[in-house]
Structure formats: structure tokens, C-alpha cells
Chain A
Amino acid sequence: AQKITQTQPGMFVQEKEAVTLDCTYDTSDPSYGLFWYKQPSSGEMIFLIYQGSYDQQNATEGRYSLNFQKARKSANLVISASQLGDSAMYFCAMSPLYNKLIFGAGTRLAVHP
């Protein structure tokens, strides 16, 4: 079965520090995409970063990087230099075929000043 697991319901981080949000996935498909989205309290899902299953390098987008360990089936999100505006729900998602996204349960991140 294709599944995304996010084991951290909530995380706290001090402003300007780095934080890692965990994500593991399960799929038998050889080709897939991994995504992270941010959902503020307003509800809109904001795309952060993408990693393809055949990509050799870990993806980076500004302060976001994806720590992709294929053998362990993990795709952790690292946020560097946290800002107060980073407080939100974060969802890991997988796309095995034709853009159908399978989401995890999410991690609520709180950034403290």
C-alpha cells in the first residue's frame, strides 16, 4: 500500500534555528515524486519543495532542503534559520502516478521568538 507517515504531530523551534520535519513513505513504484507543502491557518496549501525518486542530489529551495534517503524511504524537510512566519502545518506528500497526491497527517510547527 502507498502511504506517507509523519510521526511528529507537533514541533517547536526557536527563531533563527534549524528544524527537521520527518517523513517516511511506502511505495513499490520505481518512479515517484515527493513533495512538501505548508498550510497556514488560512487553509491554502503552499508548495515548498519537490524531489524526484531518480534525482541524485537533494533538493533545495532557499531556506528549505529535502534530506532524501531512498534506501530508508525517508524524505525529511529541513528548514534553516526559522522565522516566525514559518509557524504552520507542514504536509509531506507522494505522487506515484499522474499527480495523484498521497498526504501524511501533517506536523504542526511552532516558531518561538
Chain B
Amino acid sequence: DAGVTQSPTHLIKTRGQQVTLRCSPKSGHDTVSWYQQALGQGPQFIFQYYEEEERQRGNFPDRFSGHQFPNYSSELNVNALLLGDSALYLCASSLGGPKETQYFGPGTRLLVL
């Protein structure tokens, strides 16, 4: 049973560029959540997708956008990259009900120069 997978594992971009991160959920899961973890901090919730719709959003600017596909996989897009966007981006999958356990992927480390 494959767990949550993310690609790429590492990425280096320059300020102003755009980036797309990808996530495949654990088999049987229909909900994908994205988190940003800056160095030395706990993860911060970006948004959650369920049934191809954004169900919840955290306190992140519109530069952060996402998409969920019919097979439940998801993308996170960040436009106009800033130095402060450098972080570990974690994807988590779960079932769609309340308080379901989220299972995380290995993350994508993004460095913005």
C-alpha cells in the first residue's frame, strides 16, 4: 500500500519565478491538505482540497493556489516567489470526515534565491 508521495524532493528557484509541487495521496484517501514548514517552526496550514474543491484555506496570500484532480492527486502552485517562501512543503492525505488522521508525505524542500 503506497503512502503519500510528493515530487520533486528538492527545488531551487529565484525570486519572482513560479513553482508547482505535486502530491499523490495514500490509496483510498480523497482529501489533500498542504502545509508550509519554515525552518525551526511547526507546519502552517495552507489549504485543503476535497472533491476537487478548496474546502478550507489558511492565512496565505493568493499567490498560493492549488488544484485537485479526479484521481485525488493535487498540485500546489506558488507565483511570484519571495525569499520567505523558502520552506519544506508538506502534503497530507486523509479521508474526508472531521478529525480524520492525516498522513504526510516526505515533503518538498524549496529554496528561493
Task: Tell me the B42-96 residues at the A interface (CB within 8 Å).
Answer: 42-45, 48, 50, 55-56, 58, 88, 90, 92, 94
- Say whether A64 faces chain B, with CB atoms less than 8 Å apart: no
Give complex CA distance A101, B45 in Å.
7
Look across to chain A and name the residue whose beta carbon is closest to the beta carbon of B4: A44
List residues of chain A with CB within 8 A of the CB of B104: 37, 44-47
Q: B residues bordering A, Cβ < 8 Å?
A: 31, 33, 35, 41-45, 48, 50, 55-56, 58, 88, 90, 92, 94, 98-107, 109
- With contacts A42-B106, A43-B88, A43-B106 taken as known, whether A103 is within 8 angstroms of B101 at the C-beta atoms is no
What's the A-B contact tally at a CB cutoff of 8 Å? 71
Interface residues on A, range: 20 to 34
Look across to chain A and name the residue whose beta carbon is closest to the beta carbon of B33: A99
Give complex CA distance A97, B113 in Å.
36
Give complex CA distance A98, B58 in Å.
13
List residues of chain A with CB within 8 A of the CB of B103: 47
Look across to chain A and name the residue whose beta carbon is closest to the beta carbon of B99: A33
